[in-house]
Structures are given as structure tokens and as C-alpha cells.
Structure 1
Amino acid sequence: MNRPIRVLVVDDDFRVAGLHRDVVASRTGFTALDAVQSLGAARQATKAHAPDLLLVDAFLPDGDGVEFVAAAGIDAFVLSAATDAATVRRALQAGALAYLTKPFDARVLAERLDRYARMRNLLVTDRPLEQEQIDRALAIMHGGAEPATVARSATEQLILEGLGDDEASAAEIAERVGISRATAQRHLAGLASRGLVEVRLRYGTTGRPEHQYVAVRR
């Protein structure tokens, strides 16, 4: 199992920092580190705890949060009340994967975190990436639909690779491959109709049985 994604919140308003940290803590697959209120503390925390993702305010009492993002070399979102185009451009140029204008609903941050996890899951691999995988990762992070350049056969191949020799549900495959559950279910149904995947039922203690998928080895 992959280790949780470690997230550090950097915001000088301790109430806001706490709210953002609580959102992180509520998401499956994430670990919320203790929030910090200054860049000095953020530098110490990054050295001590090696976060995977930073949530950084653009302007902090002891310096520029955007410059910190650029220098940190760590995946980051910029969360700021600043809405001027120059600050947004600077954040994107610094490498920010998302820019959220405060105040925002907790669901907005939760959705961006979930997208980040799916993107990261697709890109954390030692194998060379195909262009379709790169396109899909970018589309996932930035909220686009699955790229039109991704051929159905390419998606199916990714699903079969993600399935491997395991028995897994559509939701588990979706997380491994970095696609939506609906897309995974659609392609798994197509693979099953052609005899490339076997569908099994897993019965729990209550409720309807869950479909499990196993690749058919020839």
C-alpha cells in the first residue's frame, strides 16, 4: 500500500491554517502535518518532515510565499486572498499546481486534494510514461475531461496493467490508474465482454455484492 501523502499548511492566520489542515486530515490517503504560520517555520518543517505537498499563503509576515514555493522544489498549492493577475501568474510560474482564492468552501480544497492524489498515483512510477498518461495526469489535476487523444485501447491497456494478477474492484482500479470510477467501469465492462477480464462477485455482510475483476491470462 502507498504511504499517505504528507501535507504541510503554511498560513499566518492560525484559524485559517487549522481549517485547511482539518480538510487535509479528512481525506483518505493524506496525513496532515502540524500547520505553521511563517516561512521560517515552514523551512524547518520541510527539513524535519519532508512533506509531499505544500498549501502556502501567497504573502506571509516574514516573506513571499510564492518565492518559497519556487525555491522549495515540492508540489504546492497557493491559497491566497490575492486575486490580481500578476500574483496568479507568479504562482503558476513558481510551479503551483493549483491557486485557490480565499475564502473558499472546504469542498473546493477537498476536491483539489483528491485530484492531486489521482494525478500523483498516475505519475509515481519508475516506468517511462506514454504521452497519453501525461495528458491524463494534467487533465485530472486541472479538472478537464479525459483527453481526446487517449485511445480506448490505450486506456484498456492501462487498466489491465493496473489490474495485474490481482482481483480488484472498479474503484480500486480507478485509483491505481488515475481515472474516474465511471471510466474504469465502462472499460472493464468492455474488456469483460471480449473475455479479457473475468467478473466475480464479492459478498459482504450486508448490502449488494460488489463486482470484482480479474484479468484472464491466456
Structure 2
Amino acid sequence: MMRVLVVDDDFMVAKVHSGYVSRAPGFTVAGVAHTGAEALRAARELHPDLVLLDIYLPDVDGLSVLRQLRSGPATQDIDVLIITAARDVETVRGALRGGALHYLIKPFSSSALQAQLEEFATLRRKLHRLAQRSTAGQEDVDAVFGARTPKALPKGLTEQTAELVRQALQAHPDGLSASECAGVTDLSRPSARRYLEHFVAAGRAEVRLRYGGTGRPERQYHWRG
């Protein structure tokens, strides 16, 4: 299980984000903090795998917390995902330079956070495999750094529609056919199928055959949690 420390000055928001984490397969909430000082203390004592870090905190800003996490010998290996309402470019740049894995702007959906948690888990698995070797080849390095960047969509597909299809799949754990996905997303069936097949090719979804009373079995798509 990946252990997550949730840091947010708003008690209700922290509770909501903790719920998102708890529902993500393979993740658990290690602790919750509402100030920068609490976050640093909890990070040292709990040593979570990941910190969900807000920028607007009552004592210090989140970027200061990020820098201290990175410089502390007991916390420098902890990964950080920024979750904030801050939209100014300097804050985004500071988060990137500080070593944050990603930057989610509030408000965001549970599926958006789950997608980032999945990317984090994938990165950790690749790093673990790499640690079993004494040296790394370029292919190994590309695999690790590739886990931190979104995969390019094929020509003709858009990020916005891909996100829509992904949310539809995650909202239907029993799976969707291309026709059912088209009905949920208001896309045409051919368009829905293109996005579904893209997720299958990228390893983000899988296909199972659904057999009816007569005729050919129907392809049913399931998001891989």
C-alpha cells in the first residue's frame, strides 16, 4: 500500500481529499495536516510515500514546505503532488523547480486525482525495478522519465475528450461497450471506440468479451485500477 499524507488548511477539503485517496486502489491515508509545521512534522514521523500538498497554508506557503521536504535528510525521498487553487505562473514554476511530481488545480474530480495516483504508482514500480540493477541503459531511463509525462494522443484525438471517456469508464466499474460509452459521453459510437481502443493500447483499459443470447460477443471496456 502507498501511504499518503494529505495537507490542506481547510478541514473539510482535507477530508474530501482523504476520501479520494482511500478509494484509490493500493493507497491509504497515513495522516492529515493543516499547517506547514504540522506537515513537516508528520512527514518526518510518518515518512509517507507521497504528500498531497496545498500551497495556501496559515503559517508558511506550500512551496516553502516543498523546499524543506527536499532538503531534509529524513524527508528528501518523499514525493510531492501539489493540490491548490493557485494559478499564477510563478507558483507553478516554483513547484516544478522544487521537484513536485505534478500540479492539480482545485477544484478537481476524484478521477483526476486517481489518475495522478496511478501515474505515481507506475513511476514507483519502474524505479523499484531499476533499483535491482547496477547500471541503467537509455531505455531504462526513458521508461522512468516517461512515467512522469502524459502519453501523446494519436492524431485526431483530444485531451478533453479523452478525459471525458476516462471519467465515464471509471464511473462504470462493470465496464462499458462502445455504444454505452457513446451514450454516456454524447459521442458517436466510432469516436467513443477510438478513445476506448487508445486506452487499451496504452495499457490504461482492458477489453473483456460480453456474451449475449445470440450473435457475436460484445467488446466491453474496463478501466484498469
Which TM-score band (shorter chain)?
Answer: 0.5 to 0.7
Q: Measure, in 2, the Cα distance between the counterparts of 1:112 and 1:145.
A: 16
Q: Measure, in 1, the Cα distance between the counterparts of 2:67 and 2:141.
A: 22
Specify which of 132, 147, 150 is matched with residue 126 of structure 1.
132
Q: Measure, in 2, the Cα distance between the counterparts of 1:118 and 1:16.
A: 26
Equivalent in the alignment of 1:144: 151
- The Cα offsets for residues 152-211 of structure 1, whole Å up to 9 and x where unpaired, read as xxxxxxxxxxxxxxxxxxxxxxxxxxxx87467xxxxxxxxxxxxxxxxxxxxxxxxxxx
Equivalent in the alignment of 2:19: 22
Q: Name the Cα RMSD after superposition.
A: 1.9
Counterparts in 2 of 1:122 and 1:181: CA distance versus 1, 3 Å? farther
Q: What is the Cα deviation at residue 129 of structure 1? A: 2.7
Specify which of 110, 117, 125 is matched with residue 114 of structure 2.
110
Q: What is the Cα deviation at residue 101 of structure 1? A: 0.6
Q: 5+ residue gaps in structure 2? A: 70-75, 154-198, 204-225
Runs of 4+ that moved beyond 4 A? 180-184
Q: Measure, in 1, the Cα distance between the counterparts of 2:126 and 2:62.
A: 28
The question of 1:53 aligning with 2:50 is answered yes
The residue type equivalent to 1:126 in the other structure is Q
The residue type equivalent to 2:15 in the other structure is G
Q: 5+ residue gaps in structure 1? A: 147-179, 185-218
Q: Measure, in 1, the Cα distance between the counterparts of 2:11 and 2:42.
A: 16
- Aligned residue for 1:63, secondary structure, equals coil
The residue type equivalent to 1:140 in the other structure is A
Number of aligned residue pairs: 148
The question of 1:100 aligning with 2:104 is answered yes
Percent of residue pairs identical: 39
